[in-house]
Structure formats: C-alpha cells, structure tokens
Amino acid sequence: MGLRRVWLKVNGADRAIVCDGEKDTLADVLRRIGLTSVKVGCGVGQCGSCTVLFKGKAARACTVRMRRVEDYDEIETVEGIGTARALHPPDSLRRAVADLVADTYDGCKYKPGRYASLAKGLF
C-alpha cells in the first residue's frame, strides 16, 4: 500500500498525517504527533494502555491499522477529554482510578487507557 496522507480529527482539531497503512498502527501515529497519553504496553490490545475513543467507541489503538482509518475519522485521547476548567472525568474519578491502577497494575502507563475507557462508559 505504501505511504498515504490521511486527515484525522484528533481531539477536535484537523491533522494531516503521513503514514504507511499496512505497517503503522493508530498508536504509532498518535505518539508520532506528540500525544503521549497513548501508551504501548503489550502491543496486542490486551493491557488497554493505548485505549482511545475511535469513531465514538473505545478502541485499542495498537490494534487499529492505519489502512482501516478513513479521512476525518474522529479520535479522542486523554489529552482531549475535558478542559482545564471542566475536567472530564471528574477529579474524584481520576483519583479513584489512580488509586485502583496503582494497586492493581505495576506502574502508571495503564492509567490513560483506563480514563479513555471510563469516559466512554460513564459520560
């Protein structure tokens, strides 16, 4: 398939991305543009640390090949959930998830994926 340009709506902003549709995953592309909340833990979609909202549904970005992504597909990462004035998820939920994840999973790389999943499920 080779390189192609695709326009994405990432966290509400239009972004032009050049990627290899067969080789690159959505997680690769999002990290390449500086969205560091998209962690890659296991690389096969098991751990959930790369979870984003893709077309309105929670998706493991490490399993979404760019060939499946179409122009202007909507993607929301933890960086795009809420604003500085209106946190989403609320602070109390962030604290609860942080406590749970810290006790359950060894390290912080899983937290952003949990927030994205919870934002889709609860809000």
Q: What is the mean pLDDT of the chain?
A: 79
Query: Which tokens hold the place of 84?
Result: 């500085």
- Rounded to 5°, angle at Cα 12 from 51 and 18: 75
Which helix (H) or strand (E) covers residue 3, if one does? Answer: strand 3-10
User: For 37-96, how does the pLDDT look when each residue is reduced to its tens digit (9 = 90+)?
Assistant: 888 788 888 888 888 989 988 899 999 999 999 999 999 988 887 655 555 555 655 666
Cα torsion for 37, 92, 118, 8, to the nearest 10°? -40
pLDDT of residue 36: 85
How far is residue 85's CA from residue 78's CA, in Å, rounded to a whole number?
A: 15
Domain regions of the chain by residue span:
3-122
Q: What is the pTM of this model?
A: 0.72
DSSP E strand stretches across 1-122: 3-10, 13-20, 51-54, 57-60, 73-76
Cα torsion angle, 78, 57, 114, 47, sign: negative
How far is residue 56's CA from residue 32's CA, in Å, rounded to a whole number?
A: 22
Start-to-end C-alpha separation, the chain: 38
Is 37 within 8 Å of 102 (Cβ atoms)? no
Q: Which CATH number fits domain 3-122: 3.10.20.30, 3.40.50.720, 3.40.50.2000, 3.30.365.10?
A: 3.10.20.30
Q: Stretch 1-22: mean pLDDT, rounded? A: 92
